[in-house]
Amino acid sequence: MVREFIKYIGPGLLITVGFIDPGNWASNVAAGSQYGYRLLWMVTLSTLMLIVLQHTAARLGIITGKSLSEAATSYTKPIISKLILSSAYFASISTALAEILGGAIALYMLFSIPIKLAAVLISTFSLFMIWTNSYNKIEKWIICFVSIIGFCFVFELALVDVEWGKAIFSSTVPAIPKGSMPIIMSVLGAVVMPHNIFLHSEIIQNKHFDRTDEIKLKRQVRFEFLDTLFSMIIGWGINSAMIIVAAATFYKNGIIVQELQQAQILLRPILGNLASFVFALALLFSGISSSITAGISGGVIYSGIYNKTYDIKDKETKIGITMTIICALLIIMLISDTFKGLLISQIVLSIQLPFTIFLLIYLTSSKYVMGKFKNDLKTNILLWIIGIVVTLLNVLLLLKQ
């Protein structure tokens, strides 16, 4: 059973990269430096939501053989599908903006390459990786990148003096400090990302599931859930580590971080040159890998609008990928405050998120779409709670502006 499960590992880790991306770095560093450990609960809550949503999206892909984008076009009214998918595509551009910008900031930290030139380099490399590599090769690269990022933060955690009692308490007990709603929403948008829900429903199909045997199909869905659970827990650990490191270094010393470059510089006197180098290196791998997944998700969503499967040889897929990366790059060229740009990009994701969640609920609750594998009552209740909580948090954000 273990050997069979290992064959299914991969899609979940590809999704994990999406929520340990540079947008997360900005949100988590801001959360830790401004509020200490107190917003760790949002990472826990967001990850629990993410496990349910990603498993549901993957199950849709396994059972129907369609991505969420294709299913929306096939099973909803054109006006509804086009509105939701268009907003999701703009969210994927917002995601790509954060990923490319984060990678560019890392290049600036490591080699003093101007950020706008570095953004062009990251964009070019990402497009090259997507156009010239098969999914399986990209998956292996992503697993390697996730491993490096994880090891980097284990190293950082080993250097700081963590108040573990406060960290554990704050991971489970919600708190909303005054003025923290924008940061809370950026953390939510950085973890539960609309483009990842679309992406998971597509990439899971590369495992070539047997849809002719119901018993095998149930077993395959179970293995997919284990892959998702395993991968999301890794992501939760890395995201939590980011906030903990920021809290134990910056918040403890009364330093509010307003840009990622500042975070690296400030780490040097506190933790040493090696720590700041490791910080920048992890950010670079995070930016590169998540730029690739953002580009792929843009291709998945755009292809689905035309009711076509993601295929790098198809015109729609190529247009979707290219427009996602190029539009993000053009916006970066107009941004003056890069850190604020990263935070705003994550808030954009959180605002679009309810539309994607309710679309997913509608499709996976339908017997016509899912057959015997439609959501049971427990799953539907969980999904509706998640959808309502995310919507209420967005309303709170708007009311506090």
- Provide the 8-state DSSP code for 210: -
Mean pLDDT, the chain, as a whole number? 82
In tens, the pLDDT along 118-166 reads 999 999 998 988 887 655 666 677 777 777 777 777 777 777 888 899 9
Q: According to the model, what pLDDT value does residue 268 have?
A: 62
Q: Helix, strand, coil % (nearest 5) of the chain?
A: 85, 0, 15
Q: How many helices (H) and strands (E) does the chain have?
A: 18, 0
Cα(27)–Cα(33) distance, integer angstroms: 10
Q: Which of 388, 41, 8, 352 is nearest to 200 (CA)?
A: 8
Share of the chain above pLDDT 90, in %: 28
- Provide the 8-state DSSP code for 314: S
Average of pLDDT values for 22-34? 80
Dihedral angle over CA of 282, 283, 289, 290, nearest 10:
140
Residue bearing tokens 């993410």: 50
Q: What is the pLDDT confidence band of residue 305, given thresholds at 50, 70 and 90?
A: very high
Q: What is the pLDDT confidence band of residue 246, given thresholds at 50, 70 and 90?
A: confident
Q: What is the pLDDT confidence band of residue 262, given thresholds at 50, 70 and 90?
A: low
Determine the residue type at 6: I
Least trusted range by pLDDT, from 69-78, 281-290, 389-398: 389-398
State the burial class of residue 206 (Cβ atoms within 10 Å of its Cβ: 0-12, 13-18, 19+): middle
Cα(225)–Cα(227) distance, integer angstroms: 5
Higher-confidence position of 293 and 363: 363
Torsional class of 62: left (φ above 0), alpha (ψ -120 to 50), beta (otherwise): alpha
Q: Which of 56, 43, 304, 27 is nearest to 182 (CA)?
A: 27
Residue 89 has pLDDT above 70, yes or no: yes
Q: What is the pLDDT confidence band of residue 260, given thresholds at 50, 70 and 90?
A: low
Determine the residue type at 94: S
Question: What are the two backbone dihedrals, phi and then psi, of residue 111, each rounded to the nearest 5 degrees?
Answer: -125, 5
As given in the structure block, the two tokens for residue 256 are 């509010």
HSE at residue 5, side-chain half, CA atoms within 13 A, is: 10
Share of the chain above pLDDT 70, in %: 83
- Give 254-261 contacts, CB < 8 A, sequence gap 24+: 255/33, 256/33, 256/34, 257/29, 257/30, 257/33, 258/339, 259/337, 259/338, 259/339, 260/22, 260/25, 260/26, 260/29, 260/102, 260/105, 260/109, 260/338, 260/339, 260/342, 261/105, 261/108, 261/109
- Enumerate the domain spans of the chain: 2-91+135-269+339-399
Determine the residue type at 357: I
As given in the structure block, the two tokens for residue 213 are 């045997």
Q: According to the model, what pLDDT value does residue 267 have?
A: 60
| CA distances (Å), origin 178, targets 144, 242, 329 | 39, 22, 34
Average of pLDDT values for 263-292? 73
Residue bearing tokens 């999406």: 18
SS3 assignment, position 209: coil
Q: 124: how many CB neighbours lie within 10 A of its CB?
A: 12
Is residue 89 within 8 A of residue 325, CB to CB? The reply is no
Cα(367)–Cα(359) distance, integer angstroms: 15
**Residue-by-residue DSSP string for 139-166:** HHHHHHHHHHHHHHHHHHHHHS---HHH
In tens, the pLDDT along 311-330 reads 888 899 999 999 999 999 99
Angle, CA of 204, 310 and 317, to the nearest 5°:
150
User: What predicted TM-score, i.e. pTM, was given to this entire model?
Assistant: 0.84
Residue 286 has pLDDT above 90, yes or no: no
| CA distances (Å), origin 66, targets 189, 353, 372 | 25, 20, 17
Q: What is the pLDDT confidence band of residue 207, given thresholds at 50, 70 and 90?
A: low
Is residue 52 within 8 A of residue 208, CB to CB? The reply is no
Q: According to the model, what pLDDT value does residue 245 have?
A: 86
